[in-house]
Structure 1
């Protein structure tokens, strides 16, 4: 669905932005044209046909746009970054602070979703991280040339340090989110758990050859509990499904945890959990046996 101007929600409508985007941001300087960042605005009905991922700066970047999976807009391109997003409720607009906050706002929004996007013209560098340092450039040059030198060694050491530092920050953020949930700060917990999930390392391989970290599974489950607490059933079931698909196997907890009570009101809940944990008493098998032996049926013989 294409965007439409909604004065009560927007700062300025898409038509105004479109005209301003065509202006040049300045004259050429030292042979290069200085350009101001360009933005555009869209308002979309849910479900969105746009998928996002966490960038190196912690922001939310477009990684897929597909009208087959939901509503999108022709302006949206892979690599574009969310600058502003409509709040969960009402007409407020939030500055996009981090990936977790943006996902929380979109998932809990009851109505159309407003997005102010920074246009990156298909450049996905923001998804990879900050601008390369001199050592990173040296490492890339060595890799292209098939060499193994000081740049490669330095890069490997830096990557290891960064990975360990990220793991530490992620664990600390998980504990903070859990503390917020226990204090009934559901909004804060939701944003932090979404951020924890977005920090899942790429190409992870655990000591047990698992491709997914344990903290990811538990964070998805806790996310489901948070959405259940504010009666966001669809978002809660989505998070629970992600937890189960990632290998969360505490099925007894899933079936009995009071934090998931609101999700159990949906018929989708039983279908979801049964697809991963087949109940001991299989209703379909019992029905088949009853039909086979005609249990509970009246005898229609004429004798």
Structure 2
């Protein structure tokens, strides 16, 4: 069994997933205080891990510029229309778990399959997806189960979506930041600002406690060889806006789970996510028995070469020694 680095316990990687309903928190609607006119896009350039190839991720967060449609949605007219779209890997979508436990679009990668359709918007809710294989559609009732299906999907992914006009269930963090920034720029610290700051603090504290609990629960399930149930816990952590160290640990353990289930493509995907989030115990990755099946993949070594700079440097040094006869006896 593999172990998590530093302050976290061993968190690694059998089947139906438990159906444990989440207890939603009531979001505080603050959207009407901010005008969304002429908002086109907000670009986020996210740097993760060390420098080197394959380690830069750029995502675009798009806000809805259709104020009329948004106002109709608020008033209950034409509320949350649905649409279907089929995409190919790489999907170019980042997902987040809402307070209701459902799956929402958190970011869209430029140039990806989803971006090219021009249909997705940040905040849209996933209602159903293609099954792991075949043409059957599975409802997206729980975040962990939905991610499990998306990662393992064989062939094009058909998604049934609900247009939310940028109104995500996880309480509109961008709107709160805009309110805080506006009040600070005006030099006025009102009671509303203090209230928002306290709400943010309490929410983040609660989210962190929940993530830590789910990591521990995932570990116990993994130790009991309940890999699919452990997957839901680890995926839930990843959907709850984790810090980079939490994301790297959870992703690594997702990769271990998929390796144990012999779901190689999904394991490679999760392992890539782990290293992009900063997981750097490359010796463990190359020796962990829980990743044995993943290491058999033809994609494993090319993936490692994108991240394991020490391994690349060691190979280069050995090549130089060989060239000049230093390795000869």
- Say yes or no: TM over 0.5: yes
Deviation at 1:62, TM superposition (A): 5.4
| Secondary structure of 2:95 counterpart | strand
User: Aligned pair in 2 of structure 1 residues 155, 34: CA closer, same or farther (>3 Å)?
Assistant: same
CA–CA separation in structure 2 for the residues paired with 1:247 and 1:190 = 20
Is 1:288 matched up with 2:320? yes
Unaligned runs of 5+ in 1: 1-27, 205-211, 297-303
Q: Which of residues 81, 86, 94 in structure 1 aligns to 2:125? A: 81
Give the match for residue 210 of structure 2: 169
Give the match for residue 294 of structure 2: 263
CA–CA separation in structure 1 for the residues paired with 2:80 and 2:237 = 29
CA contact (8 A) 2:93 2:109 kept: yes
User: Aligned pair in 2 of structure 1 residues 48, 92: CA closer, same or farther (>3 Å)?
Assistant: same
CA–CA separation in structure 2 for the residues paired with 1:35 and 1:106 = 29
Give the match for residue 46 of structure 2: none
CA–CA separation in structure 2 for the residues paired with 1:284 and 1:138 = 53
CA–CA separation in structure 1 for the residues paired with 2:325 and 2:180 = 73
Q: Which of residues 273, 277, 288 in structure 2 aligns to 1:246? A: 277
User: Aligned pair in 2 of structure 1 residues 285, 43: CA closer, same or farther (>3 Å)?
Assistant: same
The structure showing larger relative contact order (alpha-carbon pairs under 8 Å, at least 6 residues apart) is 2
Structure 1, residues 115-169: CA drift from partner, whole Å, max 9, x if none? 111123xx3231651699xx99997885574311332223322222222111111
Q: Which of residues 105, 110, 117 in structure 1 aligns to 2:154? A: 110
Give the match for residue 36 of structure 2: none
CA–CA separation in structure 2 for the residues paired with 1:159 and 1:51 = 22
Deviation at 1:252, TM superposition (A): 2.9
CA–CA separation in structure 2 for the residues paired with 1:40 and 1:136 = 30
Deviation at 1:82, TM superposition (A): 1.1
| Secondary structure of 1:105 counterpart | helix
Deviation at 1:49, TM superposition (A): 4.1
User: Aligned pair in 2 of structure 1 residues 39, 289: CA closer, same or farther (>3 Å)?
Assistant: same
- Cα RMSD (Å): 3.7
Q: How many residue pairs end up in the alignment?
A: 252
- Structure 1 residues 70-219: aligned runs within 5 Å: 70=113, 73-120=117-164, 123-126=165-168, 129=171, 142-143=183-184, 145-201=186-242, 212=244, 214-219=245-250
CA–CA separation in structure 1 for the residues paired with 2:82 and 2:154 = 25
Is 1:44 matched up with 2:44? no
| Secondary structure of 1:187 counterpart | helix
User: Aligned pair in 2 of structure 1 residues 74, 271: CA closer, same or farther (>3 Å)?
Assistant: closer
User: Aligned pair in 2 of structure 1 residues 193, 265: CA closer, same or farther (>3 Å)?
Assistant: same
| Secondary structure of 2:117 counterpart | coil
CA–CA separation in structure 2 for the residues paired with 1:158 and 1:190 = 30
Deviation at 1:242, TM superposition (A): 2.7
| Secondary structure of 1:148 counterpart | coil
User: Aligned pair in 2 of structure 1 residues 115, 295: CA closer, same or farther (>3 Å)?
Assistant: closer
CA–CA separation in structure 1 for the residues paired with 2:277 and 2:173 = 32
CA–CA separation in structure 2 for the residues paired with 1:145 and 1:188 = 49
CA–CA separation in structure 1 for the residues paired with 2:134 and 2:89 = 16
| Secondary structure of 1:154 counterpart | helix
Q: State the structure with more CA Rg.
A: 1
| Secondary structure of 1:116 counterpart | strand
Unaligned runs of 5+ in 2: 1-71
User: Aligned pair in 2 of structure 1 residues 232, 153: CA closer, same or farther (>3 Å)?
Assistant: same
